[in-house]
Amino acid sequence: MVRSSGGPDRSFSILEAAIPELRRVMDEGLLTARELTAFYLDRIEACDRKGPQLQAMLSVNPHALKQADELDEERVRQGPRGPLHGIPIVVKDNYNTADMPTTAGAEALAGFTAAADCRIVRNLRRAGAIILGKTNLHELALFGLSRSALGGQTKNPYDLTKTPGGSSGGTGAAVSANFAAAGTGTDAVNSVRSPASANNLVGIRPTKGLMDLEGILPVTFTQDNAGPIARTVEDAAILFEVMEGGRYPCRAGLSAQGLAGCRIGVLRSFFGRSREHEEVNLIAGRALRQMEELGAVVIELDEPMLDAEELLRELDVQRFEVRHEMERYFAAYRAPVQTLEELLAAGSFEPPIRAFLESAIGTPDMLEHPEYLQRLRMIGELRDQLNALFAGHRLDALFYPHQKRLVVDIGEDSQYERNGILAALTGFPAITFPGGFSAPTETAPIGVPIGLELLGKPYEDAKLIRMAFAYEKAASMRRFPPFANASE
C-alpha cells in the first residue's frame, strides 16, 4: 500500500494495479520502480516455491533492483523514457535475454545465455520495462500443460489441481498471481490465449507478421507468433504496442461503446455439446447477451466444416517445420546443442515430446514432403474460406470460447478441446478475455476461469481490442486468484 504524505487520501494498492495506475502513482512520486520491483520479488519469493508453490518462474533477474534504481534516477533526471518506465514484466523462457538463461525448460539448454536480447525484449527495455524474470512453459513450447524438466508443473492459482493452460502457462500464472504487471508468451496454436483463458487474463495473438520473432526459440515459421498476457485489455494493448515496436497503435478509441454496431458471428462448431461443456456454454451465452445489450449485432453461423479438432489434426504443420526452425536457432545463437539429435541426447524428455521430435528426425526432407505441401495448400484454402465468411456476413469478428471445456487437471496427457488453431493457421488476429467462472468446488473456491475469444480480420487487431475493452468495462470479470497468497 502506498499513501501520499498530505492532501487528499490517495491510498493505492499495488496488488492488481493496472499499468496506467502504476504509471500515475510513479509520476506523482508516490511509488518508485525499486519499491514496485521489490513488491513483486517478495511475492515471487513467497508464492512460487513457497506457500502455494505455483512454480511459475524459471529464473529471476539478479539485476532487477539495480535496474530499478537506474530507472528511478533517470526519471528524476529526464522523465520517463517510455510507456513502461520502471514497470516489471515477465517473459516466457523461450525469449532470448542477455542477462538470464534462455532454456525453454529443457535440460539440454540449462544455463544457455544468449549474447543479446531478442528484438521484443529490446523493445520492452527501450520503453523502460524491467525484465523481472523468465517464466516456466511446456518444454520447448510444444504442448499445452506447462510442465518442463527444469521448472516442473506450473499450477493454476485458481485451482491447484488444474493446469494453467499452456504452453505459456508460467506467464499466465505469474501475471494472474501478481508476480509482475504483465508478461509475454508465444503462440503456435493456442499458447498465449490458453493461459489467458485458464488464468482470468487477457491474451492477444496479433496478425501474423506484426511481431518480430527474431531471437525467440521457434517451432514453426507458419504458425509461430508472440503476444502479451495481462490482467486488463488496456494493459495488453500497451504491451502489444511496445512489443511490436510502436508502428501499429491499437489503443486509440478505447471506450465503453466499442461494441456498438459491431457484427459478431457466433461460430457454433467451436462449441461443445456434451455435459462437460455446459458451464463454458453458459458463460459464453451470457456474454453474448451482454454484447447485444452493448449494441453488438450477433449472427448465428452454421459452419460444420470449421472444426477445431479436425483442423489441428489435418492442417497443423509443426512436425514438418520444427527441425528446420530449431536448428536454425541453435546455429544462429550458438546454443549448446546444434541438432535435434543432440538435443534428444543431451536431456531427458517426457514421452510425447520425445516422440514428436523423433518423428521430425525420422522423415527426411520434411519441407518437401508431399503431405506438408498439401497442408500448406489447405491452409491457403482455409484462409480464403474465412475471408469469404467475413465478407458474406459483413462480420467484424467471430466469437467462441477459447476452450470448450474447463482447463484440464494436472496429470492429464493433453490440453483438450481448445479452439486456437483457426487463428494460428490463418494468421488472423485473436484476443482472449475473461468471461466468468465455473461453479465453485472444494478445490476451486471461486470456480475455474473461462476465457472467451474474438477473431478478426488481418490488421484489424485494434478493432478486436476495442470490442474486448467494451465488454470488459461492462462485465468486470477479473478476480484475484484465491491461491496466490503466501499463507496458502
Residues serving a catalytic function are 92, 167, 191
Q: What is the dihedral of CA 258, 452, 435, 154, to 10 degrees?
A: -130
* DSSP assignments along 277-320, one per residue: GHHHHHHHHHHHHHHHHTTPEEEEE--TT--HHHHHHHH--HHH
Could you tell me the three cell numbers for 372? 506438408
SS3 of residue 49 by DSSP: coil
Pairing of strands 430-437, 297-301: unpaired
Residues 71, 35: Cα–Cα separation, whole Å: 12
Residues 81, 71: Cα–Cα separation, whole Å: 9
Could you tell me the three cell numbers for 380? 491457403
* φ and ψ at residue 175, rounded to 5 degrees: -70, -40
Residue 1 is which amino acid? M
Residues 384, 376: Cα–Cα separation, whole Å: 13
Residues 133, 81: Cα–Cα separation, whole Å: 21
* HSE toward the beta carbon, residue 153, CA cutoff 13 A: 15
Could you tell me the three cell numbers for 431? 484476443
Terminal Cα distance for the chain, rounded: 21
Pairing of strands 57-60, 130-135: antiparallel
Residues 425, 85: Cα–Cα separation, whole Å: 35
DSSP, res 433: E
* φ and ψ at residue 6, rounded to 5 degrees: -160, 175
Residues 186, 131: Cα–Cα separation, whole Å: 16
Residues 224, 440: Cα–Cα separation, whole Å: 35
Question: 70: Cβ–Cβ under 8 A, 6 or more apart, which residues?
Answer: none
- Measure Cα distances from 145 to 79, 155, 165, 409, 411 in Å: 42, 10, 6, 9, 9
Integer-rounded Cα Rg, in Å, for the chain is 21
Residue 314 is which amino acid? E
